[in-house]
Amino acid sequence: MRREISELRYTVQQMNKEISLLKGGRSSRTSSTAPSHDPGRSNKISLRSVSAKKSGGQPGHLGHTLQMSDTPNEITDHSPAVCTCCGESLASVSGVSYTRRQVIDIPPVEPLYIEHRSHLKICPFCHLANRAAFPDHVQAPVEYSSRVEAMAGYLSVYHYLPYGRITRLFIDFFGLNISEGSIDNFLEDLSHKA
């Protein structure tokens, strides 16, 4: 009896939520409400139909296997130190063969600091001091490159990441402590370039 009462209370709460949504006219089409919260939509019911096929690769499907590289970037040799039978040292014994395994890794990503130097030269004839001009894209003593700006725009506009997650990603992956204000400035600059 108590279980039925608690289930009924839960049902009434859910219906009240749906009624308030309907009265306000809010849905995923008219507000920032998630589609999963639309009235009449249940996440408990799968929208997928049952298939007669077994899960996994189907007969005739060509699988894809990772291939070894013929030119690995790094080779690490592992040699046995002692005989597993008698315990004799194998330090001076040459190997007769080996078995290969490869691990595919991503190189660490580190920021590049590119320094631009504007040299000053004195003309030997008129003695005028001549300073070279910096490239147009180098405006401040220290600034982020157009690639950093483009990456922030890509993450924000294409992947819909909020500023806080973009700043976290730049810190975690690249070691760059970019503020949310800088990201906002990047997006503003990119909007004028489009």
Q: Percent of the chain scored above 90 by pLDDT?
A: 57
Alpha helix (H) residue ranges in the chain: 2-24, 146-153, 163-169, 180-193
In 10 A of CB 79, how many CB atoms?
Answer: 10
**pLDDT bucket at 102, cuts 50 / 70 / 90:** very high
> Closest Cα partner for 28 from 17, 16, 39?
39
**pLDDT bucket at 47, cuts 50 / 70 / 90:** low
Across all residues in the chain, what is the average pLDDT? 86
Q: Taking the domains of the chain in order of start, what are their residue ranges?
A: 2-37, 134-193
Q: Which of 41-45, 52-56, 81-85 has the lowest mean pLDDT?
A: 41-45
More confident residue, 43 or 81: 81
* Model confidence at 5: pLDDT above 60: yes
At 44 the pLDDT is 58
CA 102 – CA 68 distance, rounded (Å): 7
* Model confidence at 42: pLDDT above 60: no
At 45 the pLDDT is 61
**pLDDT bucket at 27, cuts 50 / 70 / 90:** low
* Model confidence at 40: pLDDT above 70: no
* pLDDT, tens digit, 9 for 90 and up, residues 136-191: 999 999 999 999 999 999 999 999 999 999 999 999 999 999 999 999 999 999 98
